[in-house]
Chains A and B, each alone.
Chain A
């Protein structure tokens, strides 16, 4: 036991001296932020690629005006075309509807 006391005292003194040792700072982990950035980077790249390569389909827009051409009988029994412009079509008659009504 005497031996142990001598040695323990030696190590106690050694530990006291080591209190003055300069301990390096615990390293900050950088790999964690890299791991986090990888999926974000991939997602951003895919989004950008999709945005650049996406082609918009041409939209079919209705014409602003409708041209209505009708064939009417004039005062001298002659046939004449009447062309009118409108923003909407409230009635529509098939071009062959006369075949159904006149026979």
Chain B
């Protein structure tokens, strides 16, 4: 794929790419901008190559995620790649309208699988490709993430109804 086609491809996915970059770095908008710049550089300099144009979005999301992991590591904010610790406790108060905060209450891998499937309309198979994990593992993250998110949503809705 030549440079012009790559630029057109990136431009067509720009909005979604930025939102995904932001989601990969804990909803930090400034860091997301840096990650996106680095991702575009990697791609346009040929350090990340698209082998199958039909999987452009999956590939772009994968490059963004790994760039985010590298940047978070550099800044000292580590992001577990394949671990899925169930250490996140549901807080006493959950604000339903603070969507970012609710998502952040999920373990990292569950967050990303759930975001890719429900927010970015991707399949579990595609999310497994982006995260470079087995499909079975992605399905487990998906099921656990969905269960935990449902609990959080219900809790926040109950609190909103009771006017807490």
Partners in one complex: yes
Residues from chain B with a CB closer than 8 A to the CB of A4 are: 146
**Pairwise interchain contact A7-B153, C-beta atoms closer than 8 A:** yes
**Pairwise interchain contact B14-A23, C-beta atoms closer than 8 A:** yes
Contact of B44 among A21, A22, A29 (CB under 8 A): A29
**Interface positions of B (Cβ within 8 A of A):** 3, 7, 10-11, 14-15, 18-19, 22, 29, 33, 36-37, 40, 44, 97, 99, 102-103, 114, 118-119, 146-147, 149-150, 153-154
Stretch in A11-19, A37-45, A48-56, A76-84 touching the partner = A11-19
Q: Contacts A8-B118, A31-B44 hold; do A14 and B99 have CB atoms under 8 A apart?
A: yes
Listed A/B pairs (26) with beta-carbon separation below 8 Å: A3-B146, A3-B147, A3-B150, A6-B150, A6-B154, A7-B114, A7-B146, A7-B150, A7-B153, A10-B99, A13-B99, A14-B99, A15-B119, A17-B97, A21-B18, A21-B29, A23-B14, A23-B15, A24-B18, A24-B33, A24-B36, A27-B37, A27-B40, A29-B44, A31-B44, A32-B3
Give the interface residue-count category, chain A: 20 to 34
A-B contact count (CB 8 A): 51
CB distance from B22 to the nearest CB of A (A): 8
**Pairwise interchain contact B40-A10, C-beta atoms closer than 8 A:** no
**Interface positions of A (Cβ within 8 A of B):** 3-4, 6-8, 10-11, 13-15, 17-18, 21-24, 26-27, 29, 31-32
